[in-house]
Amino acid sequence: MSTAHTPAERRQLVQQLPPLGDADARPIQRFLDAIWAEQGLARASLDSYRRDLEGLARWRDGAAGGLVGIDRAGLFDYLAWRTRHGWSARSNARLLSVLRAFYGHALRRGERQDDPSALLEPPKLPRALPKALTESQIEALLGAPDIGSPEGLRDRAMLELMYAAGLRVSELVNLPANAVNLRQGALRVTGKGSKDRLVPLGEESQHWLERYLSQARPQLTGGRNVPAMEGGQVPLFVGSERNPLSRQQFWSLVKRCAGMAGIDPARISPHGLRHSFATHLLNHGADLRALQMLLGHSSLSTTQIYTLVAREHLQKLHRKHHPRG
């Protein structure tokens, strides 16, 4: 019988594993360097790959060739160990994807003659529909910040922009100041895989951005220069210490605003505004291909899940209002 662990208990379990040895650290770094050069993965993705590979290497602790020398039975045992200790099917599916990329790289380098992950079946994943807020809930959420304070005006601009442009949380908090073109009403966004896309701002988000830039940002920075982010660019949104807000800080402000708007916290997710952006566009007749470009999805199949959300909404309307619903 599997033992469920909280995330904190799982982190403690990983901390108890033996430290990473040099024999495993070197092939992991070679793989990360190669995949960064080939695909231009973002830092967050590379860090996630590193954690997954180091977790397996530390669990293996150099046995029978370590990470590079492991066989299919060893991988199966590790996945079973993770499942017993509460890692989700989705987390294990992501790990398996990373392992396939790692051992494919080892094959090309001649470090292995086979791929031990090739015959492992990915776990069955439940198809979870994105949680979108209703349009009235969005209105209440956007109106929640206290725009009488510089922080509240900044929060309103961030919420308006995320909903208007369908941004990921990481894209929003890492926006550089020069990404906004208020004259053209457009935003340049660098998404996954360092791919750029242009997104229209919309009148409302442009209005709140202009107010933030002219009124709130100078107060938050105290008229001083803002420290550059990694890559040398100046952040668009800043906190009282002139630093960009973290994902956790933005998530906290979303939860706080949701509470003020009378929205059930269970209805809110870190990407709730992005999901609502996509669902509301489809409900109002947007083209799926156009939505794919706005969201920055590399595959149309990723965008298509929103059609299920929109269809569910239309079915509810039909049941409620049609005489034979």
Catalytic residue list: 168, 192, 271, 274, 297, 306
Strand-strand pairing, 196-200 and 180-181: unpaired
- d(CA 37, CA 198) in angstroms, rounded, equals 24
- d(CA 174, CA 163) in angstroms, rounded, equals 16
Are the CB atoms for 246 and 252 separated by under 8 Å? no
- d(CA 157, CA 151) in angstroms, rounded, equals 10
